[in-house]
Amino acid sequence: MSDSVLTAENVYKEFWTSNRERVAALQAVSIAVPDNAFVCIVGPSGCGKSTLLRLFSGLEKPTSGQVSYRQKPVNRPSAQIGMVFQEYSLLPWRTVADNVALGLEFAGMPKGERAGRAADYLGLVGLGDFAQAYPHELSGGMRQRAAIARALAVAPDVLLMDEPFGALDAHMRILLQKELLRIWENHRQTVIFVTHSVDEALYLADIILVMSRRPGRIKATIQVDMPRPRDRAIPRYGQLYADILAMMDEVT
Ligand SMILES: Nc1ncnc2c1ncn2[C@@H]1O[C@H](COP(=O)(O)OP(=O)(O)OP(=O)(O)O)[C@@H](O)[C@H]1O
């Protein structure tokens, strides 16, 4: 585990609902995420995927067990671990450039430097011409690119992505999958990416974690042995796709 960037050791997480019922979201989850890996998490709805990501980000704490970042317990959100959510989460009253500069502002970077860095990252995601636009002037795909630029601008060591392309149409989704891989191949942050889509996981990941129904456990860890860029038409793709779907269909 020493070269792992993030680890979960025997993590159990429960919530209390407003009706005072106990919900076990995760049980006996142990994972070691290798440095620079692209990891996708798939599993049935409600199995605890977002909860696991929130534990890694420090937004939630395990009920028992331990979550660590580079061998240190994760207690709170930090600049080393960036997060991108499904909903674009841009501030509507700030321009796109000012949204991208937000994390840099929190990190105390001087204003002049922030503007340059924000411009670089907007260029990286193909939004160079929209720096002064407001979020409502952008399409869903463009907003999500801006959210990715904002997360990347602080140069996090790990990028956690919770269904970032879930609200996009199929064409935009495929385009952004390609762009994300292009960026990742240049920067090689460790990425943990939650998705409902087995196809998306197979296209993106080095490692796919398949979770069971709630309480979520890690049911399988699949090393995706296909070179990139991946060809959805090859038999190996179809075979892995069918195997993972079958695992997700099983009751436990
Ligand atoms: N703050 C909370 N309070 C109470 N229950 C919660 C809370 N957060 C999550 N849960 C419950 O924990 C379980 C796991 O939720 P989570 O959002 O992690 O699942 P998910 O796999 O990400 O779901 P989906 O794929 O539908 O987005 C669900 O039953 C959910 O209702």
Residues 144-188: tens digit of each pLDDT: 899 999 988 888 999 999 999 888 888 888 988 998 999 899 888
Instruction: Provide the token pair at 36.
Output: 């620079």
Residue 112 has pLDDT above 90, yes or no: no
Query: What b-and-e string marks burial along 133-143, b requiring 16 or more CB atoms within 10 Å of the CB?
Result: ebbeebeebbb
Measured on CA atoms in the order 74, 80, 83, 89, is the torsion positive or negative? positive
- As a whole number, mean pLDDT of residues 193-218 equals 95
CA of 249 to the centre of ligand 1 (A): 19
Ligand 1 probe mutation, 14, 22, 49, 87, most atoms within 8 A of CB: 49
User: Strands, DSSP E only, in the chain?
Assistant: 4-16, 22-34, 38-42, 64-69, 72-73, 81-84, 158-162, 190-194, 207-211, 218-223
Give the binding-site residues of ligand 1, using a 6 Å CB cut-off. Answer: 15, 17, 23, 25, 43, 45-51, 196, 214
Residue nearest atom 12 in ligand 1 by C-alpha distance: 25
Global confidence as pTM: 0.94
Closest alpha carbon to 178 in 165, 195, 189: 165
| Torsion region of 201: left, alpha or beta (phi above 0 gives left; psi -120 to 50 gives alpha) | alpha
**DSSP string computed for 194-209:** E-S-HHHHHHH-SEEE
CA of 90 to the centre of ligand 1 (A): 23
Confidence of residue 2 (pLDDT cuts 50, 70, 90): low
Please give the Cα distance from 159 to 116 (Å, whole number): 22
Q: Is the ipTM of this complex over 0.90?
A: yes
Q: Describe the chain by its helix, strand, coil percentages, rounded to 5.
A: 35, 25, 35
CA of 20 to the centre of ligand 1 (A): 15
| Mean residue pLDDT across the chain | 92
Q: Where are the domains of the chain?
A: 87-155
Residue 104 has pLDDT above 80, yes or no: yes
- As a whole number, mean pLDDT of residues 39-50 equals 94
Confidence of residue 103 (pLDDT cuts 50, 70, 90): confident
CA of 40 to the centre of ligand 1 (A): 18
Confidence of residue 249 (pLDDT cuts 50, 70, 90): confident
Residue nearest atom 29 in ligand 1 by C-alpha distance: 46
Please give the Cα distance from 120 to 136 (Å, whole number): 22
- Write down the residue that tokens 């409502």 correspond to: 136
